[in-house]
């Protein structure tokens, strides 16, 4: 390439780059960047709120040092979307280069005013996780509207202005609104639109400033000129045009009308030679375009400025990591050495999600509305002060993690179904989220585990008490197996009470059919009564076994088989009612479709604290409980010798329960599938006929879909006949919008990593449409491909459903194909107050943590439900706190005691690894397992070897067979070799 020409390739490796040289914004809590020696100069920066700030900086400092100072001044975490621009000596607006020293960029620093502005406009403002970031974006939109850069029709302009004034003056009051509009100009020709603006403003009542920012961005991002900066050019025929760059690629405008677009996936290379800007396209037999397009710009410097912007946009939105720096030539340079410096968008999102830092409020310079962020922060600080705990606001965790990783690095990764996530309302089932962030414009909730009851400062030290207890009580393995029966029976009885409470809640309402009332009453009331007596007998037997009388000396009560045999025989007549579980689910679904009132009652009940998992799961609990009885008896029979006094009763009880389980197994599989379809139906928008006979749910989870915008996170749902792809908007309902469907009949799959240059990519080739997707890891890719191949084979021979799942307004193929362009358009009901919706379902957990879960995972999870007391310790705390813990649906739910009616907090385990502590962690206790996810670490102590094994294997069912046993016995072997090092439980 001749001297003076510059080019950049837009394909190749996206992973494997070295670690970034530094983050683009100042880490919260860190010191400001080190200032290099040299003469200092004062630099003025004009902020987006039109204020000016002065920064004292060394002339030898790089542009990044100055930019980090600006971000630190504002406490801006997502600063990578922004930049500092200034007018150079050629009167051109350029961005401050982060790598070059200040002295080489600003000729007269004292007389130059830099402007802090948005540099990268993402396709979806839901990707902006900080309220401050969205506020700054809103200020940028306000500026672009005012100067005429963001052109649009009158309705859109009026709607955006209405959101701006809602954030500035609050709710609509006619005289105040009119006066404000007369004194403030937001768009070039505002007077004719004042009435229309006021009409829109009157519909914004109740919106907070943060919600108004969100709605403003919701409208703005759908406009063609959103984030566009035009660069004058001409084509080969001399036609006056403008070039622009966006997250999708390079755009061509004539006036303010986009006439062409070259997506990054189609562009092979960008370069410039003097005044000519060149776009080299990938070969396309179906296209009439030339291989290389040429545009003439005003000067070489104009070409270079635009080329730099293209390089940065491509790197920021398309690459996974900061590009590797080019080695410096030894003799002479050829072309430009410019490269993008800083974090990519993916790195920004990952960094913010995994960070754990304090939220500092900011001041809205233009708003008269009382902002509740200050109030929330003060309340949280006061609460932490009163309880002696350090203020700890849990940030969004990084959900882009692998469920399985290398055995010894992160030995066991945990699948997960549900979690307590607040989302737009900050509460789910009446309890706050632990780690799933609320994407509400109002901010996020702190962790319930830092509450007075559950945080480390308020924990109860129980070491001495439990050591004495351990020495006094039995240590036989059979005792701990029987104790598992006791603890899980307590939880099961509480779950039955949830259904009886539901029956009471809807039973007196005329919207509930009598047949449904009778079915619930006749099924669950007898079960509740029976298990109340069963639990009482188990408690009495365990009390005797633990030595609270001298009966244990004779050995008469050191057994449980006789109690189980007696009660399982008494339970047999009630198992007839268990066949009604399917009828109850069907009847409830049918009744909710027929009555919106009953549907609302059910939804309201699900949002109560006692209903900590989906309501339909409680209905299936009696079927699941029989499986638990069978497993407990199998463990006892395996433990006992044939001569043991308890063996015969345990074997007889096992035969009885196995017979019942076998009879109900087929019905249980159908009901679990039906329950999952009903649950998914609540999470989806734009789909009909999801719950139909013959359709089986197979897997759901996140894949990145390749479109004109690049790789975008999508939630995929694989069924036995079709695969759907969806996206999640920031709506109050937390539902997923369906964008397309691919029938499995006739589908093929091919690996596409080399074809697209994207790791873990594969193509779903349908009869009428093909979709390129990428998994988050090789393991995820293999799981998806395995299940897809199985489902495709099933579809070849199946006579199952072939319904069109999309609703009427989504079935147009052109709309489905255009999904990458308008997938997040605002809902027509965005101004309404929609009903609350569960935000802790398996779909939302998989979405946030960028992973997948299969139906097989859920079936295995049913067998691994546990309850009991555990001691918990945080990473940096000294004492242990005793909690009642319920493990179900891949979550740990925490209670103060087993008598509590609802959990106080929960810990979703998707992405967590379970290992044993290393010696360097100084956990000098027996039977401790460690749960860790990135920087989040928890230690849990069980009371026995059996409990340690059960929790370890129970919460890691996806680990390779025998792995936790290996870790377990390695751990115990170390304990037995070094007994003096470890204390008692």
CATH number of the domain where residue 154 is located: 1.20.80.10
Residue 563's nearest CA partner among 595, 586, 584, 540 is 540
End-to-end CA distance of the chain: 72
User: Cα(71)–Cα(30) distance, rounded to whole angstroms?
Assistant: 12
Residues 6+ apart with CB under 8 A from 687: 681, 724, 738, 805, 806, 807
- Domain membership flag for residue 59: no
Q: What angle do CA 627, 630, 632 make, to 5 degrees?
A: 110
In DSSP terms, 907 is beta-bridged to 892
CA separation for the pair 169, 495 (Å, rounded): 49
Claim to verify: residue 642 and residue 738 sit in the same structural domain: no
CB of 125 within 8 A of CB of 214? yes
Q: What is the pLDDT of residue 754?
A: 79
pLDDT in tens, 578-591: 777 778 888 898 88
Same domain as 504, residue 571 = yes
pTM score: 0.57
Coil, helix or strand for 531?
Answer: helix
Asked if 272 and 208 count as a contact pair (C-beta separation under 8 A), the reply is: no
760 shares its domain with 894 = no
The residue with tokens 């020409």 is: 5
User: What stretches in the chain show pLDDT beneath 50?
Assistant: 1-31, 330-333, 371-461, 464, 549-552, 808-837, 958-985
**What three-state secondary structure class fits 896?**
coil
Three-state DSSP state, 70: helix
Residues 982, 985: Cα–Cα separation, whole Å: 9
* Alpha-carbon gap, residue 68 to 62, rounded angstroms: 10
Q: Can you tell me whether residue 648 is helix, strand or coil?
A: helix
What's the confidence (pLDDT) of residue 581?
A: 77
Domain that holds residue 785: 686-797
Q: Which two tokens stand for residue 357?
A: 């830092």
Q: Could you tell me if residue 580 is inside a domain? A: yes
Per-residue confidence (pLDDT) for residue 324, from 0 to 100: 65
Domain assignment present for 333: no
Pair 608, 721 in one domain: no
Structural domain contains residue 63: no
Under a CB-based contact definition with an 8 Å cutoff, are residues 737 and 717 in contact?
A: no
> Token pair 């502005």 is at which residue?
117
Which residues, in sequence order, are bridge partners of residue 704? Answer: 713, 774
Q: Are residues 657 and 792 in the same domain?
A: no
How many CB atoms are closer than 10 A to CB 941?
Answer: 23
How many CB atoms neighbour CB 388 within 10 A?
Answer: 11
- Whether 651 and 787 share a structural domain: no
Please indicate, yes or no, if residue 596 is contained in any of the structural domains: yes
Residue 138: closest CA among 223, 224, 218: 218
Q: How far apart are CA 886 and CA 906, in angstroms?
A: 9
**Do 750 and 899 fall into the same domain?**
no
Q: Is residue 896 part of a domain?
A: yes
Q: Are residues 732 and 767 in the same domain?
A: yes
pLDDT (tens digit per residue) in 369-412: 654 443 333 333 333 333 333 332 222 223 233 332 332 333 34
Q: Same domain for 749 and 887?
A: no
Q: Which of 188, 221, 254 is the last residue of a domain?
A: 221
Measured N-to-C along each axis, helices 174-183 and 194-201 cross at an angle, to the nearest 10 degrees, of 130
What pLDDT shows up at residue 798?
Answer: 72
pLDDT at residue 716 in the model: 95
Assign 3-class secondary structure to 618-647. Answer: HHCHHHHHHHHHHHHHHHHHHHCCCCCCCH
539 lies in some domain: yes
Which strand (E) or helix (H) includes residue 724? strand 722-728
Determine the length of the chain: 985
**Sign of the alpha-carbon dihedral angle for 569, 570, 573, 578:** negative
Q: What is the CATH number of the domain that holds 514?
A: 1.20.900.10
CA-to-CA distance for 395 and 438, rounded, in angstroms? Answer: 10
Same domain, 646 and 699: no
Last residue of a domain, one of 221, 246, 265: 221
| Phi/psi-derived region of residue 874, left when phi > 0, alpha when psi is between -120 and 50, beta in every other case | beta
pLDDT in the model for residue 618: 92
Do 130 and 210 sit in the same domain of this protein?
yes
Residues 217 and 136 in one domain: yes
Q: How many domains does the chain have?
A: 5
Q: Give the Å distances, CA to CA, from 215 to 178, 187, 206, 207, 221.
A: 21, 18, 13, 9, 10
CATH code (residue 712): 2.30.29.30
Kindly report the backbone phi and psi dihedral angles of residue 465, in degrees, each rounded to the nearest multiple of 5, phi listed first: -60, -45
Residue 433 is assigned to a structural domain of this protein: no
Q: Is the CA virtual torsion 308, 309, 310, 312 positive or negative?
A: positive
Three-class DSSP category at 471 = helix
Which of 637, 665, 681 is the last residue in one of the domains?
681
Cα-to-chain-centroid distance, residue 889: 17
């Amino acid at each position: 390439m001749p001297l003076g020409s510059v080019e950049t390739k837009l394909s190749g490796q996206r992973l494997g780059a070295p670690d970034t040289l530094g983050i683009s914004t100042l880490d919260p809590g860190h010191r400001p960047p080190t200032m290099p020696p040299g003469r200092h100069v004062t630099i003025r920066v004009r902020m987006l709120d039109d204020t000016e700030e002065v920064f004292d900086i060394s002339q030898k400092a790089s542009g990044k040092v100055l930019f980090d100072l600006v971000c630190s001044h504002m406490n801006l975490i997502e600063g990578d979307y922004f930049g500092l621009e200034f007018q150079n000596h050629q009167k051109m607006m350029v961005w401050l280069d982060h790598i070059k020293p200040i002295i080489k960029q600003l000729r007269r620093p004292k007389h130059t005013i830099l402007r802090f502005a948005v540099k990268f406009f993402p396709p979806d403002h839901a990707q902006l996780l900080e309220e401050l970031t969205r506020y700054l974006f809103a200020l940028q939109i306000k500026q672009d509207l005012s100067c005429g850069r963001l052109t649009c029709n009158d309705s859109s302009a009026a709607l955006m202005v209405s959101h701006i004034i809602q954030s500035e003056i609050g709710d609509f009051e006619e005289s105040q609104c009119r006066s404000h509009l007369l004194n403030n100009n937001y768009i070039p020709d505002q007077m004719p639109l004042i009435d229309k603006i006021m009409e829109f403003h009157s519909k914004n009542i109740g919106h907070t400033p943060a919600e108004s920012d969100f709605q403003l961005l919701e409208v703005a991002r759908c406009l063609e000129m959103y984030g566009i900066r035009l660069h004058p050019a001409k084509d080969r025929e001399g036609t006056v045009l403008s070039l622009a760059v966006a997250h999708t690629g390079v755009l061509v405008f004539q006036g303010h009308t986009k006439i062409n677009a070259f997506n990054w996936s189609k562009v092979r290379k960008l370069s410039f030679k003097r005044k000519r800007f060149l776009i080299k396209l990938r070969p396309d037999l179906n296209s009439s375009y030339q291989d290389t397009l040429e545009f003439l710009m005003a000067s070489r410097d104009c070409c270079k400025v635009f080329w730099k912007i293209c390089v940065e946009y491509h790197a920021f939105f398309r690459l996974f990591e900061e590009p590797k720096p080019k080695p410096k030539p030894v003799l002479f340079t050829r072309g430009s050495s410019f490269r993008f410096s800083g974090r990519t968008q993916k790195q920004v999102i990952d960094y913010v999600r995994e960070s754990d830092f304090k939220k500092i409020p900011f001041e809205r310079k233009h708003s008269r509305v009382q902002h509740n962020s200050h109030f929330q922060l003060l309340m949280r600080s006061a609460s932490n002060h009163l309880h002696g705990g350090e203020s700890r606001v849990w940030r969004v965790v990084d959900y882009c993690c692998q469920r399985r990783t290398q055995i010894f690095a992160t030995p066991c990764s945990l699948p997960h179904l549900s979690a307590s996530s607040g989302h737009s309302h900050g509460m789910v089932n009446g309890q706050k989220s632990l780690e799933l962030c609320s994407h509400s414009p109002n901010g996020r909730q702190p962790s319930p585990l830092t509450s007075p009851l559950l945080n480390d400062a308020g924990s109860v030290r129980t070491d001495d008490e439990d050591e004495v207890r351990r020495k006094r009580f039995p240590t036989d393995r059979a005792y701990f197996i029987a104790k598992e029966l006791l603890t899980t029976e307590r939880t099961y009885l509480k779950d039955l009470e949830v259904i009886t409470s539901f029956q009471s809640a809807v039973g007196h309402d005329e919207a509930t059919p009598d047949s449904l009332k009778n079915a619930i009453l006749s099924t669950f009331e007898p079960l509740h009564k029976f298990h109340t007596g069963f639990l009482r007998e188990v408690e009495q037997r365990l009390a005797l076994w633990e030595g609270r009388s001298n009966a244990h000396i004779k050995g008469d009560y050191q057994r449980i088989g006789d109690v189980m045999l007696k009660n399982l025989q008494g339970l047999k007549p009630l198992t007839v009612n268990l066949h009604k579980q399917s009828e109850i689910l069907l009847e409830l679904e049918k009744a909710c479709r027929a009555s919106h009132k009953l549907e609302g009652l059910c939804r309201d009940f699900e949002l109560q604290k006692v209903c900590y998992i989906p309501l339909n799961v409680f209905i299936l609990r009696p079927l699941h409980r029989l499986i638990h009885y069978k497993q407990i008896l199998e463990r006892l029979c395996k433990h006992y010798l044939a001569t043991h006094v308890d063996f015969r009763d345990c074997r007889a009880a096992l035969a009885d329960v196995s017979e019942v389980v076998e009879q109900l197994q087929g019905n249980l599989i159908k009901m679990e599938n039906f329950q999952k379809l009903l649950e998914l139906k609540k999470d989806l928008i734009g789909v009909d006929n999801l719950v139909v006979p013959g359709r089986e749910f197979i897997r759901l989870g996140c894949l990145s879909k390749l479109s004109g915008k690049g790789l975008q996170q999508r939630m995929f749902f694989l069924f036995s006949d079709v695969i759907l792809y969806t996206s999640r908007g920031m709506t109050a309902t937390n539902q997923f919008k369906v964008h397309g469907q691919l029938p499995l009949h006739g589908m093929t799959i091919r690996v596409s990593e080399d074809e697209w240059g994207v790791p873990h990519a594969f193509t779903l080739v349908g009869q009428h449409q093909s979709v390129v997707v990428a998994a988050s890891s090789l393991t995820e890719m293999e799981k998806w491909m395995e299940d897809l191949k199985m489902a495709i084979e099933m579809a070849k021979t199946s006579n199952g459903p072939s319904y069109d799942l999309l609703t009427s307004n989504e079935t147009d193929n052109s709309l489905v194909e255009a999904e990458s362009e308008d997938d997040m358009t605002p809902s027509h009901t965005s101004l309404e107050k929609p009903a609350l919706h569960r935000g802790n379902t398996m779909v939302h957990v998989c979405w946030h943590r960028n992973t997948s879960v299969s139906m097989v995972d859920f079936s295995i999870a049913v067998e691994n439900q546990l309850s009991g007391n555990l001691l918990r310790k945080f990473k940096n705390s000294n004492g242990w706190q005793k909690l009642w813990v319920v493990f179900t649906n891949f979550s740990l739910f925490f209670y103060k005691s087993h008598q509590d009616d609802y959990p106080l907090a929960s810990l979703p385990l998707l992405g967590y690894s379970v290992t044993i502590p290393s010696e360097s962690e100084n956990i000098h206790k027996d039977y401790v397992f460690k749960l860790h996810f990135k920087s989040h670490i928890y230690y849990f102590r069980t009371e026995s070897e059996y409990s340690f094994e059960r929790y370890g294997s129970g919460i890691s069912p996806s680990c390779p067979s025998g792995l936790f046993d290996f870790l377990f016995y390695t751990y115990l072997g170390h304990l037995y070799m070094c007994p003096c090092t470890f204390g008692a439980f």
